[in-house]
Structures are given as structure tokens and as C-alpha cells.
Chains A and B, each alone.
Chain A
Amino acid sequence: MANTETHSTLTNAPNANAIIDIRDLRKVYQLGKTSVEALRGVNFEVSEGEFTVVLGPSGSGKTTLLNIIGCLDRATSGTYRLDGEDVSQRDFNELAEVRNYKIGFIFQNFNLIPVLNVLENIEFPCLVRKEQQNRAELRERVRALCAEVGLERFMKHRPDELSGGQRQRVAIARALITQPRLVLADEPTANLDSKTSDQILELMQRLNRQHDTTFLFATHDPRVMDLARRTVRIKDGLVQPD
């Protein structure tokens, strides 16, 4: 206990237990002559296995934050350590590799590849890797995941033959197939009705527990708060104190 106390007081020392460790993160969008400061010095940590909800109104900077955490974007200033490593100096293809091996994404509008069926969409992140995959073993894992998210009867379907909830299940399975360190979900239920939303939320929580994967979940819906073990409130690009 004494050890953790020291850590929180020494703000410059990295936290070894944290999967996400963000210090004084800023993001400025340049729009012609005007600039928008979407993040204004965010400090924030997420420990392994946590299910964290980032809650904030529209335009508060949730997507901006998640994009940086997901290595899709770079911060203007500040440090970000993913799994203990500073990724801010990595080049494009190195970041792609980080995304592929360490991060799973779940989006508001599902973002499946239309020409691939459910099976292929799920295995896609593994198939674009440099090293040769054991296809049979991969297929087995995909099937198991399909069963876990309740898609075993739809494996050969194309995305346009699925309902919104089913599509989001495919996206969840795709996010988990690489056994990532971190799953980022940016308003994954915003396009779903409340019943389907509840099912998806419940599924994500179950997977969080079973796979021991860290989940970071951004939403503007305060109802989701009840499900989270931990909530981080964000407003105008700043994390609000609890």
C-alpha cells in the first residue's frame, strides 16, 4: 500500500501496473486559422483487467482520447505509455503493428468489411499479419469466439445480412481474436436500441471477466455508468476529479 502511495505523489514516475498511463495529454486540431483544443492536459491511468467507462457529453473529447490511446492518432503534447512503452515516437507501420497486436476496436457504426463474411471479418486482423497463420487453428478460435458472442448460425453471412446487434457482436469478436491487451469501444451502443444495447453491454462485461481483457468504453449515456466498476468523467477536454 505504501508503495502505491509513493507512486501517486511522484507524478513523473511511470506506473508499472498501468496498461494506459497518460500524463498531461493535449490535442489541438488546426482548422485553418482557428485551432480547437480537444484535450487540455489529461492525466489518467487504467490498470490491467479494468472495465472503465469514459463518460462525457458530446464534443468533450472522448473520441479524440480513444483515438490517441488506440494509436490511431498522435497527441500534440504530453506522454502516453501503452503497456509501459512510450509509443509517441513510433512510425506509421509500427503503430499499425501495435494496433494489430495490442488493441481491439469496437466502433459506433460497427465498421465491418462489407465483402467479407462473419468468419472472414473476425479472422481478418490475424490474416494481415506478416507471419504465416495456422489457418485451422485460427478457424477453430474464430468458431469458439463466434459461439461466445452468439453468432454460430451466422458465420457465412455478409454484414449487410445482419442486424445492428449482430454486426456489433462480429466487431466484438474481431476485437478479441488477436487476444489484445486492450479493447477500446467508442459509443458501441449508440446505434442500437436499448434492449440490444443492454445485451451488448452485458456481453462486453462477461468477456472482460472471462478473457481478463482491459476494456475502455466511451459514452455520453449516463445509464451505462451503473455497469462500470470505474467511471472517468471528461468535460471540455479535461478529466473531472471524482
Chain B
Amino acid sequence: MNILFQVALRNVFRNRRRSLFTLSALVVGLAVVLMITAVANSFHRFSVENAVNAKLGALQIHRSGYMNNLSLNPLSFKFEYSRDLLEKIESVRGVKAASGRIAFRGLVSNGRNQALFFANAVDVSREEKVCPRWLGALTLGSSALLSTDSAHAMVGHELARSLSVAPRAGVPAEGDASFIEAAPVEVASDTLNLSAASPEGRQNAVDVQVKATIRSLLPIEEKRSMVVPLSLAQSLLGMAGKVTEIAVAVDELDEISTVQRELQLVLGSEYEVSSWADVQPFLRDIVFRQRVMIAIVSVILFVLVLFVIANTMTMAVFERTREIGTMLSVGIKRGQIQTIFFSEALFVGVVGGFIGLVLGLVGVLITHRIGIPFGSVGFERGILRPFLTLEFVVAAFCVAVLCSGIAGIFPAKRAAGMNPVDALRSN
């Protein structure tokens, strides 16, 4: 090995305490960055999956113009809900399932009082394949909508309470829903009357039986929302055989943009394909903002590490001033002195980066295995499983090594800039 690298390496080991200190700064810095990123990743995946699996679906298909005209008359963007269309959608690579929906609003009444509602009409036989957790959290005594139901509804808990309705007790629970206790309701009946306007503006009304009341973390959902079978909405709104939306589940959420592009291509300009992020921009923004926060924290950590390394390296340079003078006296070049100190910093960087990497990955692996319990019981019940992408791991390691390299430049330049006579005179 080159004598300069030998000198560098041995100096790293000569000052064991200090090297260990620098090393641990780097190790801890990198491991922490990896850990917080992994936890944040799992949290983002959890939030997105939760939204996608409970309500949105990964992708949504509408007639072109729907997304830009939500405030007008969304029902006018209805389209044929045909087997052909479903097959066309499901034949696209990466698509897992598709299910038609109608989102509409109207007035709900118990005979004495009435209230505004927002309803989601779903194809019960298909919805579960697209949104496995579409039933969400139901109160005790509820039962899930079945594909055979046609005059039934699941109603937001608060809405039901204000209208004094509840599911008839004793009906056995079915389906993949969680059931949680709710404050008892003064029950008058289990029947409600829904009225809504057809796309053309014609009013119509229908009686439904309340099968379930829905609990949610969002007050608006408890107060206003309702889930009804697609067939009910179609007849109420005079939209036989039509839907306003087809929700699509994908095999891999990470490859959603590819599937989105592919679907758009297959369906043509008559339809528009939106992702969960297009439909729910605030969720995308939250994820984005958190990523920015973590990036800032990571940068701060790396800058701290950089200063620690630069500082200890500068100390080393001053301590070894006479040694530098000695090397200059035997005719070493400035560049060679730089090489010595720079490789010391880089060596610490590579070793510290490697240990930090291993430690961080082990930490991520362990928390991934064990899982971090997360969410309110009954609602977003779930476990966070921290994970990292290979690209991030490689990038973080490179940044760690780069940091120590940069930290080494200044002290190395200082060492190389020394005047031989002054260096030899120092003690």
C-alpha cells in the first residue's frame, strides 16, 4: 500500500478515542436518518393505503371534464357501466380490480326532520376487491351491505343520531368491518327517506332501511355521509346502467403512474384517469411536506456530522504540525500532505458510513418485523412497518461519505498550506 495511505490509516488508529468519537457521530447521524426516513415511509404508505383501501381506490376513471366540473352537476358526466368497459379496464397490466360508483347528494328525512347527505353508491359485489376496507368502522349492531340489498343504506353515525334511526338490533354482523361501540341512540325506527335530483333535474324519492351506522375520524363523514347499493342510486336518479366513476385497484401502488398512463391510453380521451393524489391533493401535500421536513432534518444531521469531522480533523492537523514540518523537510509535496489528511477523513467516512448503514438497516429490519402499532382502535387500525428504498439507502451512504470527504478538505488544505520552517519550530 502507498506509504501516504499507511500514514493516514495508522494515524486514524493512533488516536483511537478521537476517531471513535468522529466515527460514532457519523454512525449515529446516518442510522438516525435511515430510521426516521423508514418510519416516515411506512407512515406515508399507511396513510395512502388507508385512503386508497378504505375509500378512494388507487385510480379513478371519470368521463373527461368530471374533475374540473365537480361544483356543477357531476351526475351529467354519467357513462355506461358495461361489462365490456370493465373487462377493458381489468385487462390492463397492473390493474387488480374495478368497480363502478355514483357519488351524489340529496336530502334525507325521517318524516319529521330532514338533512343534507353525500352518498356514495357502490357496486357491492365488486367494491370489496377495489377497496378492501370500504365498510370502515361500523357501530355494534350494524351489518354490512350485501350485493343482494337494494333498499338499504349505511349511514354516518351522527346523521343517524340526529334523525333518531339505528340498525335494527340483533342482525348478525357480516363482512370485513370493525365494530365499535357508540353512544346509545334514542331509536324511533330504522327507515329513512332519501330524495335526490336526476341529472336532468327531476326529483325522486325512495325509502331505505338503515343496516349500519358508520363511524369515522372525520366529523363530516359521521354527519353527512352515506353508502348505498349502486342499483338503488341508479333507480333513484334515473340512471339505469350508468355510473359516474369507476374505481380501480392496482397490484403495486408504487407503479401507479405506469398503470395510470396505460389505462388512459386504452380508454382514450373520452375518459380521464386520476390517481389518489389527483383526487385527494391534500393527502399528497401532507406526504410531500413531511418528506421535505425529513429532508431538512437529514441535511441538518449531516451538516452537524460534517462539522464534527472537520473539527476533529483540524485538531489533528494542529497536533501534528511538527510531523508535517518533518515530512516537508524530507521533500514531500503539498498535494501529498493533502492526500494524507483527506484520506484520513474519507476512511472515517467509509467505515462510519458502513457501520451506520448496517446499524440503521438492522434497526429498520427489527422495527419492520415487530411493527409499530398505530392508529385509533377501530378506525385506522394498523401497524407501521418501516421500510427503505434501495435508492435512498445508496444515496444516504454516499452523502455520508461525501460529507466526511468535504469535512476533510478544509483541514487537509490547512495542513498542506503550512510553512515548513514554522511547522518545524512548533511543538
Query: Which A residues lie at the B interface, using CB under 8 A?
Result: 67, 70, 72-73, 92-93, 96-101, 103, 105, 107, 111-116, 120, 124-125, 127-128, 174
Contact = CB atoms under 8 A, between A and B. Distances in A.
A125 B4 CA distance: 11
B369 interface: no
Contacts of B322: 111
B183 interface: no
Interface string B318-340: 00001101111111111010000
Contacts of B4: 128
A118 to B, nearest CB: 14
Interface stretch (B6-14, B87-95, B111-119, B383-391): B6-14
B304 interface: no
A124 B330 CA distance: 8
Contacts of A111: 322-323, 325-326, 329, 424
A96 B331 contact: yes
A96 B332 contact: yes
B382 interface: no
A125 B331 contact: yes
A159 to B, nearest CB: 11
B328 A72 contact: yes
A115 B7 contact: yes
B420 interface: yes
Q: Which 7 A-B pairs have the closest CB atoms?
A: A100-B331, A115-B10, A111-B326, A125-B330, A99-B331, A127-B3, A72-B420
A185 B327 CA distance: 16
Contacts of A72: 328-329, 420-421, 424
11 contacts: A67-B421, A96-B332, A100-B331, A101-B331, A113-B323, A114-B14, A115-B14, A116-B10, A124-B327, A128-B327, A128-B331
Contacts of B326: 107, 111-113
Nearest to A72: B420
A105 B330 contact: yes
B323 A96 contact: no
Interface in B293-336: 322-323, 325-334, 336
A96 B14 contact: no
Contacts of A174: 330
A128 B10 contact: no
Contacts of B336: 128
A214 B146 CA distance: 107
Given A113-B323, A115-B11, A124 B329 contact: no
Interface string B1-32: 00110110011001000000000000000000
Contacts of A99: 328-331
A50 to B, nearest CB: 22
Given A72-B420, A72-B424, A115-B7, A92 B334 contact: yes
A96 B4 CA distance: 16
B329 A105 contact: yes
Contacts of B331: 96-101, 103, 125, 128
Contacts of B332: 96, 100, 128
Given A115-B14, A124-B330, A125-B330, 17 more contacts: A72-B329, A72-B424, A73-B421, A96-B334, A100-B331, A107-B329, A107-B424, A111-B326, A111-B329, A115-B6, A115-B7, A115-B10, A116-B3, A128-B330, A128-B333, A128-B336, A174-B330
Nearest to B332: A128
Contacts, number: 72
Nearest to B9: A115
Nearest to B8: A115
A100 B327 CA distance: 10
Residue among B322, B330, B334, B420 with most chain A CB within 10 A: B330
Nearest to B331: A100
Contacts of B328: 72, 96, 99
A44 to B, nearest CB: 20
Given A67-B421, A73-B421, A93 B333 contact: yes
A197 B421 CA distance: 25
A148 B336 CA distance: 30
Contacts of A112: 326
A70 B328 CA distance: 11
A70 B329 contact: yes
Contacts of A96: 328, 331-334
Contacts of B330: 99-100, 105, 124-125, 128, 174
A98 to B, nearest CB: 8
B338 to A, nearest CB: 12
A67 B425 CA distance: 11
Nearest to A127: B3
Nearest to B320: A114
Given A67-B421, A107-B424, A113 B329 contact: no
Given A96-B331, A99-B329, A124 B11 contact: no
A96 B323 CA distance: 16
Given A72-B420, A113-B323, A115-B10, A120 B329 contact: no
Contacts of B11: 115
A120 B424 contact: no
Nearest to B421: A73
Contacts of B334: 92-93, 96
Contacts of A125: 330-331
B418 to A, nearest CB: 11
A99 B3 CA distance: 19
A134 B330 CA distance: 19
A69 to B, nearest CB: 12
A101 B10 CA distance: 27
B426 to A, nearest CB: 11
Contacts of B7: 113, 115-116
Contacts of A73: 420-421
A181 B332 CA distance: 18
A28 to B, nearest CB: 14
B234 to A, nearest CB: 84
